[in-house]
């Protein structure tokens, strides 16, 4: 429960520390990120939260009362831009992890694994080196606990009791085994991708079928042109070019419609799909190849009949 004057709402409050804003590049709108959360009584909020509670009034140094550990006041030290909708790091309010329940006790217990931790490696350091060092720390600091558990539960010597795991930040979103609140399953992406390919195949088959159907109506035209001296090569070039032209023009219209309706699609689905200049060039390249292939197939029947 979060309270400011007469406004009371239920909000998602996340715990982190000062290094969060040194590691990640979220846009800072107000405040000094170097000092964020150094004081346990400070809070950093997003732009939408600032608008929700304070409107056009400056949010800095305003005081929230949060129902945590018996209730505590937090002073707004900074305002940051809302994380993108597709980010695995989504938050509204950030306070120091020092305020977590049982924080002092947990900091002294090596058996406590309730805190997912982001680690930024130095240049030239590999994840393999990190895991090797973590195993050394485990063997050194948890040796007594592991020996005790081994005796108590009759655990064989070749069984690993505790193992640290590290996942690349870019791999979090599609690894369902990662213990993180915003994780998807790669199978969903494969299913959606498969449906997209199936739609393209069906549309391509429909277009080719239409091309074959209309080609029958042009048999007289082909016969007349042959009778006045048109060669088979000329006819092949003509019909293939017509089919290619229709396919490419359709592709251009499709991309234009995509760019027009993408903002509405993002709003409807709560997504934040963006088309950059580089991705647009890649998309146009793939679409052009696909349109060319479909155009060639659609025009081939009439061309060589």
Q: In this predicted structure, what is the pLDDT of residue 301?
A: 61
Question: Are residues 294 and 231 part of one domain?
Answer: yes
Q: In this predicted structure, what is the pLDDT of residue 304?
A: 57
Cβ(110)–Cβ(134) below 8 Å: no
Question: Are residues 275 and 213 part of one domain?
Answer: yes
* Token pair in block for residue 45: 């909020």
Question: Are residues 49 and 8 part of one domain?
Answer: yes
Three-class DSSP category at 289: helix
The residue from 44, 67, 101 where one domain ends is 101
Q: In this predicted structure, what is the pLDDT of residue 181?
A: 80
Three-class DSSP category at 114: coil
* Residues ≥6 apart with Cβ < 8 Å to 295: 240, 243, 244, 245, 246, 247, 248
The residue from 174, 206, 236 where one domain ends is 174
- Cross-strand pairs, 13: 93
Local confidence pLDDT in tens for the 305 residues of the chain: 999 888 889 998 999 998 999 899 899 999 998 999 999 999 999 999 999 999 889 999 999 999 987 789 999 999 999 998 778 888 999 999 999 888 888 888 877 777 788 999 998 888 889 999 989 988 888 888 888 888 888 888 888 888 888 888 888 888 777 878 877 778 888 898 899 889 888 888 887 777 777 766 666 776 777 677 767 677 677 777 888 888 889 889 989 999 999 889 888 877 777 887 778 888 889 889 988 888 887 776 655 55
> Which letter does DSSP use for residue 216 in this model?
H
Measuring CA to CA, how many Å separate 246 from each of 87, 251, 271, 288?
39, 9, 32, 12
One-character DSSP codes across 139-198: HHHSHHHHHHHHHHHT--TTS---------GGGGGG-TTS--SS---HHHHHHHHHHHHH
Q: In this predicted structure, what is the pLDDT of residue 75?
A: 95
- Distance, in Å, from the CA atom of 48 to the CA atom of 90, rounded to the nearest integer, reads 13
Nearest to 7 by CA among 78, 57, 44, 81: 57
Q: In this predicted structure, what is the pLDDT of residue 218?
A: 67
- Distance, in Å, from the CA atom of 113 to the CA atom of 96, rounded to the nearest integer, reads 18
Question: Are residues 158 and 61 part of one domain?
Answer: no
Q: Is residue 170 part of a domain?
A: yes
Q: Is residue 107 part of a domain?
A: no
| Rg of the chain taking only CA atoms, in angstroms | 31
Q: Is residue 113 part of a domain?
A: no
Q: Is residue 122 part of a domain?
A: no
Q: In this predicted structure, what is the pLDDT of residue 53?
A: 92
Question: Are residues 136 and 90 part of one domain?
Answer: no
Question: Are residues 159 and 195 part of one domain?
Answer: no
Please give the tally of structural domains in the chain.
3
Residue with tokens 């805190």: 115
* Token pair in block for residue 210: 């239409």
Domain that holds residue 132: 127-174
Question: Are residues 150 and 237 part of one domain?
Answer: no
The residue from 101, 116, 135 where one domain ends is 101
Question: Are residues 204 and 97 part of one domain?
Answer: no
* Token pair in block for residue 262: 């993408």
Question: Are residues 134 and 80 part of one domain?
Answer: no
- Distance, in Å, from the CA atom of 79 to the CA atom of 156, rounded to the nearest integer, reads 52
Q: Is residue 180 part of a domain?
A: no
Question: Are residues 254 and 195 part of one domain?
Answer: yes
pTM of the model: 0.69
Q: Is residue 46 part of a domain?
A: yes
Question: Are residues 298 and 190 part of one domain?
Answer: yes
Question: Are residues 132 and 85 part of one domain?
Answer: no
Residue with tokens 């590999």: 126
Tell me the helix, strand and coil percentages in the chain, rounded to 5: 50, 10, 35
Tell me the pairing of strands 7-9 and 2-4. antiparallel
Max CA distance (Å), the chain: 99
- Distance, in Å, from the CA atom of 222 to the CA atom of 171, rounded to the nearest integer, reads 57
């Amino acid at each position: 429960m979060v309270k400011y004057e007469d406004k009371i709402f239920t909000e998602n409050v996340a715990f982190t520390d000062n290094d969060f804003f040194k590691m990640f590049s979220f846009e800072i709108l107000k405040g000094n990120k170097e000092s964020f959360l150094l004081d346990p009584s400070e809070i950093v909020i997003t732009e939408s939260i600032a608008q929700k509670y304070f409107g056009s009034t400056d949010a800095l140094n305003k005081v929230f009362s949060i129902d945590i550990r018996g209730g505590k006041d937090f002073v707004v030290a900074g305002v940051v831009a809302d994380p993108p909708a597709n980010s695995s790091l989504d938050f509204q309010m950030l306070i120091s992890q020092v305020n977590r329940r049982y924080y002092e006790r947990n900091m002294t217990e090596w058996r406590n694994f309730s805190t997912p931790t982001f680690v930024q490696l130095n240049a030239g350091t590999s994840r393999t080196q990190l895991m090797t060092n973590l195993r050394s720390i485990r063997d050194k600091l948890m040796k007594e606990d592991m020996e005790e558990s081994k005796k108590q539960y009759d655990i064989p010597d070749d069984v690993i009791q505790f193992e640290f795991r590290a996942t690349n930040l870019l791999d979090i979103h599609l690894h369902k085994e990662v213990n993180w609140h915003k994780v998807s399953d790669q199978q969903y992406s494969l299913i959606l991708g498969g449906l997209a390919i199936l739609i393209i195949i069906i549309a391509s088959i429909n277009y080719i079928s239409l091309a074959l159907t209309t080609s029958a109506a042009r048999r007289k035209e082909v016969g007349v042109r042959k009778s006045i001296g048109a060669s088979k090569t000329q006819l092949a070039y003509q019909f293939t070019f017509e089919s290619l032209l229709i396919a490419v023009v359709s592709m251009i219209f499709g991309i234009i419609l995509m760019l027009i309706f993408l903002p509405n699609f993002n709003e409807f689905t709560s997504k934040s799909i963006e088309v950059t200049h580089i991705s647009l060039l890649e998309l146009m390249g793939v679409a052009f190849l696909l349109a060319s292939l479909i155009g060639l197939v659609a025009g081939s029947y009439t061309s060589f009949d």
